[in-house]
Structure 1
Amino acid sequence: MRPELVIFDCDGVLVDSEALSVSALLGMIELAGGTVSEDAAYEHFLGKSMKSVREILGQEFGLDISDQHLTAMRVDLMRKFREELKPIPGVKEVLPKLGLPCCVASSGTLERIRYALDVTGLLPLLEPHLFSATMVKRGKPAPDLFLHAAASMRAHPGNCLVIEDSPAGVAAARAAGMRVLAFTGGSHASNPALKARLASTEPDFIFADMLQLPDLIAGLGAREKAS
């Protein structure tokens, strides 16, 4: 069965933003008096909401992140997005070809999601179906955001397909009872440790070329018919 709904993560799936986001995050951590390596940042924070990131920095790294720190990071990140952010190659071509309802479900704020999609020219293809972790109680890896997106789009969770780039996101999709494809085509995804963590979450398939997505979706339906 073809999915009723395709749910896209934003960062690292629609826009090539993960490296920019980690750079801004590391700058904020330094401003707060801490030091975290880039590898550790990807391991601990990739795909998670800022609420979760703030909690982890406090509990595991002993850093008190103030609202002023968050504001400084946001300003830095928006500048990076404005000057450097690009869409994932192929995504502009693929979205109109899917012929399926699509939405975005991201750990970022709605403001950040909309801005990222706007500066990359993707917003008209996806608005108004944008969902943020700020809309639910628990962020990824909890299933809340994906379940909220499915309910809002009137789709059964079991008939939804999620496109994710992070272990936390794949785990969230699994917990929601959804099929999930792991995407490794972002500029950050060449990290072998990240690829290994992503594979360990057992997505339905891992792919690196967004232009493959229509065929992968068709293949999911074909495999179900064969079984």
Structure 2
Amino acid sequence: MNIALLGYGRMGKTIEKLATERGHKIVKTIDQDDDYEFNGADVAIDFSVPDAAVANISACLNAGVPVVSGTTGWLEHYDEMVSLCENKKGAFIYASNFSVGVNIFFELNKQLAKMMQNLEEYDVDMTEVHHIHKLDAPSGTAITLADGILDYSDKKDWVLDEKETGKLTINAVREGEVPGTHTIKYQSAVDEITIEHKAHSRNGFALGAIIAAEWLKDKTGVYGMKDVLGL
């Protein structure tokens, strides 16, 4: 499979290494100010920056190249990209996190939230820890986890790094080179219940994106990792 990489930072380089090991060929790397010549790519993988994501995804869809995007921090334009994909009869997958383990964690989080929804003695909060280079806060993964909790909670929204009545607190920590740790804690006066996903490297995110690209090739439509993994 011929792959174009949109964004050639740490994740892009990790994807390049793992994709090559799986027998794929990187035919184009597109970084800042590069042209959108896709060189016969079967699929594009976007791990760029929030300000570039919409232009990158749009260029792929306009060129008829299926695109997998793991860039976070641009989702106010997500519906526009879905409409463009449908209009162009293209193929598009967005995920806040492509790790297989994280997507299992998403489902576990929803199940726990459903179990806890009527237990008013428990309050819930979340902490996410990432490396100091991460540009957005909270992480896209944390927002997905928050949505899973809010679906079964009387809390109306989430709030970043503060306590506010009726809202879910997300604590965002930036330190060192941490690939990503997400912790959900339900606490009462007598005990607490904690679930956590801790990434040991970027390889899980990169491999999941490659698996998604393999799955998306030759398809049309808008999908997520639940479709890719059959969850």
- The verdict on a shared fold, with TM-score over 0.5 as the criterion, is no
Q: Which has the higher helix share?
A: 1
**TM-score, normalising length from structure 2?**
0.29
Query: Relative contact order (C-alpha < 8 Å, sep 6+): which is higher?
Result: 1
Higher share of residues assigned strand: 2
Greater radius of gyration (CA): 2
